[in-house]
Amino acid sequence: MAKIYVFDDEPSILLMIKKMLEKAGYEVDIALNGKEGMELFKRNVPDLLITDIIMPEKEGLETILELRKSYPELKIIAISGGGRISPGGYLPGAKLLGANIVFEKPLDQKEFLQAVTLLLDETRTKNFPRQL
């Protein structure tokens, strides 16, 4: 079973994503910011990280940058409601720093779940290559 971490400072979003992913059969752990989330990485490295950008303590861009250095193979999805900089907010920056996919809130649940499945399938294909 694939393991997913979700970091977001809004508990309602955190729980919505957790519920959706658990229903799809994934194992999910959550944290309210990047600092709390980094503690989870000390215990286990997940197959996929989903992280918000604007969070107290340790925000998403810094978290992505740090984790991308330590775990080049980690799949990362950045989510954000946009910000002051531009309508697209921080998401282009998140992609530059190493997020595989970025999503704007509010999330389209169906599209979001498809992206998660796709990313995790890539991991599986890579780990267990088909014999041709």
Interface residues toward Mg ion, by CB under 5 A: 9, 52, 54
Which token pair is 30?
A: 């959550």
Comparing CB distances to Mg ion, the nearer of 81 and 98 is: 81
Residue 31 or 54: the one with the smaller Cβ distance to Mg ion is: 54
Write down the least CB distance from residue 31 to Mg ion, Å.
12
Q: How far is the CB of 80 from Mg ion (least distance, A)?
A: 7
Which lies closer to Mg ion via its Cβ, residue 13 or residue 45? 13
Q: Where are the alpha helices (DSSP H) in 24-108?
A: 34-43, 60-70, 91-96
In angstroms, the CA 132 to CA 129 distance is 9
33 or 47, CB closer to Mg ion? 33
- Give the C-alpha separation, 128 to 63, whole Å: 29
For the CB of residue 54, give the shortest distance to Mg ion in the complex, in Å.
Answer: 4
Residue 7 CB, nearest approach to Mg ion (Å): 9
Nearer to Mg ion, 83 or 92 (CB): 83
Please, what is the angle between helix 60-70 and helix 34-43, to 10°? 20
| Residue nearest to Mg ion according to CB distances in the complex | 54
| CA-based nearest residue to 82, from 95, 74, 94, 91 | 91
Do 69 and 43 form a contact (C-beta atoms < 8 A)? Answer: no
Q: How far is the CB of 64 from Mg ion (least distance, A)?
A: 14
